Structure 1
Amino acid sequence: MIATPDDYSWFSRERFPELADAYCFTYVRGLTPEELVTRLGVRVEDCSRMTLDELTKTAYSSYDGKNLFFGAVAVGDWVLIVEALGGLGITEEITMPLSAGTRLVSHFYLEVKGMDYFYWIEDGKIRFEFAYQEGYSHWIEDGKIQFMFPHHESYSEEMPDELAETLERIDSPIYPIAEPHEGPAFLLAERLTGITLTPQLLEESTYLCGVVSRPR
């Protein structure tokens, strides 16, 4: 069965009021949560185990704009980082070294500023980036802007093969790619990681939580 953005309609402010409007999900292949926090420069003994509810409440109560609070959980061969009010997964000073020797996929949404970002990084190199902010959209491959919205009748022939079919399928009036937080970003992440994010996965996991300083 081929997934569509509707399959992620469960991710809403009704079910996830402290996450859906300000989130960042990051997937890193081949690391455990403990290895991930160590790679981030955080001591495992300084981390805490939390539920999703505890994670989001702590993120909001401790937010100061200077630090990034995150939770990490193993999902198969990957580790998933969940952030509320965070941006660890779209901060290149963090994601580039974090992706060393492996694949990193992240997507971010901040409703209040109308911001969407999607990254696919392989061993410190950005393979694909999607950005949208208040009506301005583009996707970048190997550092080059390929096109800008709203003129998006077709995709460049240089579109990465791993994503071309998914992007063509969701680029339609029914599933506009300019709103990746409503489904497309989840499909792109699923295509690149093989992980189908579910509400049960988010709600029933126990996260290894820590804090990393936001780069200047």
Structure 2
Amino acid sequence: MTTATAADYGWIRSATSPFRYALESGYVLTLVRGVSPEQFLALAGAEPRGVCEGGDELIERHQELLEESDGGDGPYVLAGACAVPGEDGAWTLALALGGDSWPPGFMETLSAGTRAVSHSSNGGKPMHFFHWYENGELRTRFEWPTVRSGSTPDELNSLMCEVGLGLTDDDASRVDLKAAVFALAERLTGVRLAVEPMALAEYRTAVVPEAPAEEWTSITIDITDAYGVRTYAHIENDG
């Protein structure tokens, strides 16, 4: 079993990280067991755009897609999917750039009979979500680790603590939450992500239909200033 922690994913914000662009543009990263990249994209209803070599080319193709849209109604989201080794067999990694969610009902369908783990950001704005699905059921979901939902919102508590996602607001403010979420995804899948494999992978690409914004019950504003001081505020949606 993997022992990943947030410290293993400090690279995601480095200058050489292929993931920096994803954080800036918005992304969804999903890992699913036993579903091929081709099956994944077909289930998402995505329009195939061929194969690209490496993370840099995936980013270039997303930028080209934005130029094609030229400020219009889209599409804006490009997904790249590839096979990766993980726990109990083959997994697919899918990275969608330019969006923060898959089409409605997709994750339930994708995870039927298997496990799927997903995390996302809406790019520059303070909304970051984590989802764990098992056999079509949303088991645990959170934005801020102290506010969880799903059918088993507390089942991951011990793992969350081990990777650095503290269960008190004070604990959670001491760690890079995005790095810790990467580590939590690894704990649940056995898939270790690193700079070079992501940069060199062969991705099957496709344009993803735009999904409506995820309905939210609360958001947490989490800002780190130039001196390393973190400030956050939790806001409930009473509407």
TM-score band, normalised by the shorter chain?
A: 0.7 to 0.9
Deviations 1:53-95 (CA, angstroms, capped at 9, x unpaired)? 1211222332456433100000121000012222245x54322
TM-score normalized with structure 1 length? 0.77
Partner in structure 2 of residue 85 of structure 1: 98
Structure 1 CA distance for aligned equivalents of residues 200 and 176 of structure 2: 27
Partner in structure 2 of residue 186 of structure 1: 182
3-state DSSP of counterpart to 2:79: strand
Residues 140, 205 of structure 1: alpha-carbon distance in 2 compared, 3 angstrom cutoff: same
Q: How many residues align?
A: 193
Structure 1 CA distance for aligned equivalents of residues 150 and 41 of structure 2: 29
Unaligned 5+ runs, structure 1: 144-157
Residue identity matched to 1:187: A
- Contact 1:108-1:118 at 8 Å conserved across structures: yes
* Aligned counterpart in structure 1 of residue 65 of structure 2, from 62, 65, 68: 62
Structure 2 CA distance for aligned equivalents of residues 176 and 92 of structure 1: 31
Partner in structure 2 of residue 23 of structure 1: 27
3-state DSSP of counterpart to 1:113: coil
Runs of 4+ in 1 over 6 A off after TM superposition: none
Residues 2, 104 of structure 1: alpha-carbon distance in 2 compared, 3 angstrom cutoff: closer
1:179 CA drift (Å): 4.7
Residues 36, 204 of structure 1: alpha-carbon distance in 2 compared, 3 angstrom cutoff: same
1:178 CA drift (Å): 7.8
Structure 2 CA distance for aligned equivalents of residues 58 and 177 of structure 1: 36
Residues 31, 177 of structure 1: alpha-carbon distance in 2 compared, 3 angstrom cutoff: farther
Aligned Cα root-mean-square deviation (Å)? 2.7
3-state DSSP of counterpart to 1:75: strand
3-state DSSP of counterpart to 2:147: strand
Percent of paired sites with the same residue: 27
Unaligned 5+ runs, structure 2: 213-239
Residue identity matched to 2:49: C
TM-score normalized with structure 2 length? 0.70
Structure 1 CA distance for aligned equivalents of residues 191 and 114 of structure 2: 16
Partner in structure 2 of residue 147 of structure 1: none
